[in-house]
């Protein structure tokens, strides 16, 4: 286990109950800067709940979430996003009636100093900022292969393209830590490979990734470290090779997965 | 705005500016002025309802606040039109904040109820606070608007005044919605969850949209008071709030031009159907039903859909 030194994200003793049912109990782990860490486990293991607590959508019953020296617990989701933690959603939460470009423009405002008044009077600062954003958007859509679809409605993209747009949109917030919730769900093997390359590209650009994923092939290939959850508890944490040999993991997860 | 948008904007404003020179009668100019006033209210309401997805059934109240504020200040205290206008917008903003901050925590029908409640409170005040508002009889002989010694006392002059206000209101509204900043309103409507995840303060965004709209309603109300020179509580009932929403829907929710088209068609329909006397609302209702069945996205929304289908077929 890594020590607290150099940790970007440190989750300690996190717990959450829903109507008496423990969704997450006493989960602690850390993520170092520049890592790709996967969070795996059977359905209902509490992975997405952990994501929702880190990003402020659920408030934990106990525990703490330290990110770059800040306590995230108790902050609203938009404040956490502004601190540099962005996410994608398991069930896709695109702005469906907006173009790909519009989706990206929303995210570009995460750290924008532009005010409502400035936008109404279209000040020089607004024009400058919008030119910069357009360049950033062009780079990001290129990286996810959506250049041609910039003007298409998000709802009209293919499923795989929608997933890639969500990743690009999260990146457009200028995030330092990216939380991807099942980015390959429902994708073809070819599309999965694209996501794998994309995740590595994102990591190489200096962004740390925490990933929820069911595709074990992908997880084993991309992860620096893997955290395994079952029934709301962490049951293992280590490098892919260690996890593959772990008896409890086999029993809880890999065993059932065949 | 692109050069093409600017070109269209200047063309339309100039074309409208020529209308009084064509020997148009004062009544027609009055109706066209009303279209401008309704367009200002519904630009704001479109931001709240069409773009941000929040309903308000109380906008007649902010319209009334604007009208009474400017009417009372100019008539009873002899304040200049500019002061009446600024006070009207300021009070509409303050009330927009006071109502918006608590009630925008609500959604859907609960928000509708809260805004109806505010509308009723304002109407009660207008009727019962007699020594200030003139009670049910309202306020008459509101002064003609004047700016820097010039008095807008003819239908022509008032039309130009309202055209100027509508054009400026339109510019600010279009700038906002065509900017990247404007995308946050649709984001809140489409997925508040994702908007928050992208760093957008959803509650603040809803309040901004709401207060923008109350400011516009207040401005339009002040113009209305000085155009009509007579205001009474009857003009500001729930039906008027519904009428504003109707304009947004008929014009095309969440389309830039919707409020203009919607205001034009609803104001002209209402005026031209008056000759039918008792049957007027019946026919009005029927026309609305037909419009919404065949153009569910409103005039502008359905036209856009047609154009994009046609382009795709050609491509």
Asked if the structure places residue B298 within a domain, the reply is no
Q: For residue B209, give the nearest of B47, B89, B101, B62 by alpha carbon.
A: B47
Domains assigned to chain A: 1-84+176-258 (3.40.50.300), 95-175 (no CATH)
Q: What is the mean pLDDT of residues B245-272?
A: 94
Q: Which residue has the tokens 């607590």?
A: A53
Q: For residue B170, give the nearest of B34, B21, B37, B309 by alpha carbon.
A: B37
Q: In this predicted structure, what is the pLDDT of residue A2?
A: 43
B183/A119 Cβ within 8 A: no
Report the gap between the CA of A21 and the closest CA in chain B (Å): 24
Please compute Rg for chain A using Cα positions.
19
Please report residues of A whose CB lies closer than 8 A to that of B184: 106, 109
Please report residues of A whose CB lies closer than 8 A to that of B191: 93-96
* Number of domains, chain B: 1
Four-residue CA torsion sign, B66, B69, B73, B74: positive
DSSP state for residue B47 in the 8-state scheme? I
Q: What is the mean pLDDT of residues A93-112?
A: 96
Convert the pLDDT of each residue in B43-74 to its tens digit. Answer: 999 999 999 999 999 999 999 999 999 999 99
Asked if the structure places residue B312 within a domain, the reply is no
β-pairing, A62-67 with A7-18? antiparallel
Query: Can you tell me the distance from the alpha carbon of B260 to that of B264, in angstroms, rounded to the nearest whole number?
Result: 6
A86/B198 Cβ within 8 A: yes
Query: Can you tell me the distance from the alpha carbon of A142 to that of A166, in angstroms, rounded to the nearest whole number?
Result: 14
Q: In this predicted structure, what is the pLDDT of residue B274?
A: 87
Note the ipTM here. Answer: 0.92
Question: What CATH number corresponds to the domain at position B201?
Answer: 1.10.3470
Please report residues of B whose CB lies closer than 8 A to that of A170: 197-198
Report the gap between the CA of B215 and the closest CA in chain A (Å): 13
Convert the pLDDT of each residue in B118-130 to its tens digit. Answer: 999 999 999 999 9
Convert the pLDDT of each residue in A169-202 to its tens digit. Answer: 999 999 999 999 999 988 889 999 999 999 999 9
Q: How does residue A139 score in pLDDT terms, banded at 50, 70 and 90?
A: very high
Query: Can you tell me the distance from the alpha carbon of A166 to that of A149, in angstroms, rounded to the nearest whole number?
Result: 14
Q: How does residue A254 score in pLDDT terms, banded at 50, 70 and 90?
A: low
> Which pair of tokens denotes residue A114?
């532009």
Q: In this predicted structure, what is the pLDDT of residue A4?
A: 47
Instruction: Tell me how far apart the terminal alpha carbons of chain A are, to the nearest angstrom.
Output: 28
Asked if the structure places residue B307 within a domain, the reply is no
Q: What percentage of residues in chain B have a pLDDT greater than 70?
A: 100
Which range of residues forms the domain containing residue B136? 24-268
Please report residues of A whose CB lies closer than 8 A to that of B5: none
Q: In this predicted structure, what is the pLDDT of residue A255?
A: 56
Q: How does residue B257 score in pLDDT terms, banded at 50, 70 and 90?
A: very high
For the beta sheet containing A70-71, the strands, ordered from the edge strand earlier in sequence to the opposite edge, are A21-32, A7-18, A62-67, A70-71
Whether the per-residue pLDDT at A3 is higher than 60: the answer is no
Instruction: Give me chain B's average pLDDT, please.
Output: 94
Please report residues of B whose CB lies closer than 8 A to that of A133: 180
Asked if the structure places residue B171 within a domain, the reply is yes
Strand partners, A12: A64
Convert the pLDDT of each residue in B195-244 to its tens digit. Answer: 999 999 999 999 999 999 999 999 999 999 999 999 999 999 999 999 99
B208/A87 Cβ within 8 A: no
Q: In this predicted structure, what is the pLDDT of residue A5?
A: 53
Whether the per-residue pLDDT at B251 is higher than 60: the answer is yes
Query: Can you tell me the distance from the alpha carbon of B307 to that of B315, in angstroms, rounded to the nearest whole number?
Result: 12
A57/B175 Cβ within 8 A: no
Query: Can you tell me the distance from the alpha carbon of A9 to that of A65, in angstroms, rounded to the nearest whole number?
Result: 7
Q: Which of helix, strand or coil describes residue B303?
A: helix
Asked if the structure places residue B188 within a domain, the reply is yes
Report the gap between the CA of B194 and the closest CA in chain A (Å): 6
Considering only CB atoms, B194 lies closest to which of A82, A93, A118, namely A93
Please report residues of B whose CB lies closer than 8 A to that of A136: none
Asked if the structure places residue B310 within a domain, the reply is no
Convert the pLDDT of each residue in A48-83 to its tens digit. Answer: 999 999 999 999 999 999 999 899 999 999 999 999
Q: In this predicted structure, what is the pLDDT of residue A54?
A: 97
Q: In this predicted structure, what is the pLDDT of residue B284?
A: 87
Convert the pLDDT of each residue in B75-90 to its tens digit. Answer: 999 999 999 999 999 9
Convert the pLDDT of each residue in B165-199 to its tens digit. Answer: 999 999 999 999 999 999 999 999 999 999 999 99
A55/B194 Cβ within 8 A: no
Considering only CB atoms, A133 lies closest to which of B173, B180, B187, namely B180
Q: In this predicted structure, what is the pLDDT of residue A258?
A: 42
* Cβ contact B257:B298 at 8 Å: no
Q: Which residue has the tokens 């382009």?
A: B311
Convert the pLDDT of each residue in B102-145 to its tens digit. Answer: 999 998 889 999 999 999 999 999 999 999 999 999 999 999 99
B186/A77 Cβ within 8 A: no
Q: What is the mean pLDDT of residues B287-308?
A: 88
Interface of A with B (CB under 8 A): 55, 57, 76-78, 81-82, 86-87, 89, 93-98, 102, 105-112, 114, 116, 118-122, 126, 129-130, 133, 169-170, 172-173
A109/B199 Cβ within 8 A: yes
Q: In this predicted structure, what is the pLDDT of residue A256?
A: 52
Q: How far is CA A71 from the centre of its chain?
A: 18
Q: How does residue B275 score in pLDDT terms, banded at 50, 70 and 90?
A: confident
Report the gap between the CA of A179 and the closest CA in chain B (Å): 11
Asked if the structure places residue B303 within a domain, the reply is no
Whether the per-residue pLDDT at B33 is higher than 90: the answer is yes
Instruction: Give me chain A's average pLDDT, please.
Output: 92
Asked if the structure places residue B289 within a domain, the reply is no
> Which pair of tokens denotes residue B91?
């009070």
Q: Structure pTM?
A: 0.94
Q: In this predicted structure, what is the pLDDT of residue A131?
A: 96
Listed range (A112-126, B76-90, B280-294) with the worst mean pLDDT: B280-294
């Amino acid at each position: 286990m890594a020590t607290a030194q150099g940790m970007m994200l440190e989750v300690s003793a996190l717990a959450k109950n829903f109507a008496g049912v423990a969704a997450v109990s006493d989960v602690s782990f850390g993520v170092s800067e520049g890592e790709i860490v996967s969070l795996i486990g059977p359905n209902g293991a509490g992975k997405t709940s952990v994501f929702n607590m880190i990003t402020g959508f659920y408030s934990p019953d106990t525990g703490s979430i330290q990110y770059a020296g800040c306590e995230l617990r108790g902050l609203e989701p938009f404040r956490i996003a502004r601190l540099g933690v962005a996410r994608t959603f398991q069930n896709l939460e695109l702005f469906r009636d907006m173009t790909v470009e519009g989706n990206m423009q929303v995210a570009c405002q995460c750290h924008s100093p532009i005010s409502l008044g400035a936008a109404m009077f279209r000040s020089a600062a607004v024009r400058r900022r919008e030119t910069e954003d357009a360049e950033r958007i062009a780079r990001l859509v290129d990286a996810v292969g959506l250049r041609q679809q910039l003007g298409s409605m998000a709802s009209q993209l293919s499923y795989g393209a929608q997933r890639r747009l969500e990743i690009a949109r999260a990146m457009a917030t200028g995030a330092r830590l990216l939380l991807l919730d099942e980015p390959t769900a429902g994708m073809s093997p070819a599309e999965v490979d694209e996501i794998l390359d994309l995740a590595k590209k994102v990591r190489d650009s200096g962004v740390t990734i925490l990933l929820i994923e069911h595709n074990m092939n992908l997880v084993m290939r991309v992860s620096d470290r893997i955290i395994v959850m079952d029934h709301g508890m962490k049951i293992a944490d280590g490098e892919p090779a260690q996890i593959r040999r772990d008896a409890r993991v086999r029993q809880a997860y890999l065993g059932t997965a065949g | 705005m692109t050069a093409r948008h600017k070109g269209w904007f200047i063309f339309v404003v100039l074309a409208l500016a020529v209308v009084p020179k064509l020997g148009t009668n004062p009544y027609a100019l009055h109706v066209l002025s009303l279209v401008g006033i309704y367009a200002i209210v519904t630009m704001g309401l479109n931001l709240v309802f069409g773009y941000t997805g929040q309903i308000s059934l109380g906008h007649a109240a902010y319209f009334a606040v604007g009208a009474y504020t400017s009417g009372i200040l100019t008539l009873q205290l002899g304040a200049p039109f500019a002061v009446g206008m600024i006070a009207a917008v300021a009070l509409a903003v303050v009330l927009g904040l006071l109502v918006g901050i608590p009630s925008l925590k609500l959604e859907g029908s609960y928000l509708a109820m809260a805004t109806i409640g505010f509308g009723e409170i304002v109407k009660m005040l207008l009727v019962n606070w007699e020594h200030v508002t003139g009670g049910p009889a309202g306020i008459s002989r509101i002064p003609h608007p004047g700016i820097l010694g010039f008095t807008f006392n003819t239908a022509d002059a008032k039309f130009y005044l309202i055209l100027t206000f509508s054009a400026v209101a339109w510019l600010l509204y279009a700038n906002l919605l065509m900017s990247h900043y404007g995308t946050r309103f649709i984001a809140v409507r489409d997925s508040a969850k994702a908007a928050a995840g992208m760093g957008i303060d959803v509650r603040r965004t809803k309040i901004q949209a709401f207060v923008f709209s109350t400011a516009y309603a207040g401005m339009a109300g002040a113009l209305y008071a000085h155009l009509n020179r007579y205001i009474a509580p009857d003009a500001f009932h729930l039906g008027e709030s519904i009428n504003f929403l109707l304009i947004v829907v008929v014009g095309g929710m969440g389309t830039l031009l919707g409020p203009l088209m919607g205001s034009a068609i609803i104001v002209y329909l209402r005026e031209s159907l008056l000759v039918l006397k008792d049957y007027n609302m019946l026919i009005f209702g029927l026309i609305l039903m037909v419009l919404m069945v065949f153009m569910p996205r409103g005039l502008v929304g359905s036209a856009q859909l047609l154009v994009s289908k046609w382009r795709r077929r050609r491509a």
